[in-house]
Chain A
Amino acid sequence: AQKVTQAQTEISVVEKEDVTLDCVYETRDTTYYLFWYKQPPSGELVFLIRRNSFDEQNEISGRYSWNFQKSTSSFNFTITASQVVDSAVYFCALMLYGTSGSRLTFGEGTQLTVNP
């Protein structure tokens, strides 16, 4: 069975601080994808990144960076110099391919609050 754990339920930081959101996943499959989504209060899911299981290269996109380590089954997300607009719930998700097609399993989410 697959599982995604985001141990941090809520994180509160002051603007300009760096913050790391943790994500640990479980799967027996060797082929899978990992995602991060941002969900602002309006509810829509904003896609941030997609990474396949064979690509452990870390990625940086502006203030965002991701650290994928298969050895620890982790896919952590760091926001550098956080801003108030970063306040949202962030979800880590795991995609596997099964008999019904691809299925996405979400973590419980981390509520990030960036205070001015």
Chain B
Amino acid sequence: GAVVSQHPSRVICKSGTSVKIECRSLDFQATTMFWYRQFPKQSLMLMATSNEGSKATYEQGVEKDKFLINHASLTLSTLTVTSAHPEDSSFYICSASPLPGLNSPLHFGNGTRLTVT
């Protein structure tokens, strides 16, 4: 079964509103969580990394004030797209890992398809 649950799977919102996406680890405590964005027919691009107990580290070009990431607990990370615009329409997918090292398994959620009208 799924070890990382992402919710919602699809969301449609109006321009200017904010949307929150949740990523939960079900069977383990995730010390590290990642958020990716995927535009149609493109690759997955890492947006930010969050480690438990510290603020998220954003990739270059990702606006941290627009994409608020909160590693609220060891089993929950949220991504809030603030004041969404049509260009934010994309597929957002999270992944979680129980340990920060290379040897730790990496589990992906099923993704959230965001459409901003």
Residues in chain A within 8 A of chain B (CB atoms): 31-33, 42-45, 47, 52, 91, 95-97, 100-109, 111
B78 close to chain A: CB less than 8 A: no
How would residues 24 to 46 of chain B score, 1 for a CB under 8 Å from any chain A CB and 0 otherwise?
00000000101000000111111
* Contacts known (A44-B111, A102-B106, A104-B95); A97 close to B101, Cβ less than 8 A: yes
**CA–CA, A101 and B95, complex, Å:** 13
* Contacts known (A91-B43, A95-B102, A109-B43); A100 close to B108, Cβ less than 8 A: no
Residues in chain B within 8 A of chain A (CB atoms): 32, 34, 41-46, 49, 51, 57, 91, 93, 95, 97, 100-102, 104, 106, 108, 110-111, 113
Contact indicator B102/A31 (Cβ below 8 Å): yes
Contact indicator B110/A97 (Cβ below 8 Å): no
* Contacts known (A91-B43, A109-B43); A102 close to B111, Cβ less than 8 A: no
**CA–CA, A97 and B45, complex, Å:** 17
What are some 20 contacts across the A-B interface (CB < 8 A)?
A32-B102, A91-B43, A91-B44, A96-B102, A101-B100, A101-B101, A102-B32, A102-B100, A102-B106, A103-B34, A103-B46, A104-B106, A105-B46, A106-B43, A106-B44, A106-B45, A107-B43, A108-B42, A109-B42, A111-B41
- The binding surface of chain B is classed by DSSP as strand
Contacts of B113 in A (CB 8 A): 43
Interchain Cβ contacts within 8 Å, total number: 59
Contacts of B93 in A (CB 8 A): 43, 45
Contact indicator A44/B110 (Cβ below 8 Å): yes
Contacts of B44 in A (CB 8 A): 45, 91, 106
**CA–CA, A97 and B104, complex, Å:** 11
**CA–CA, A35 and B69, complex, Å:** 26
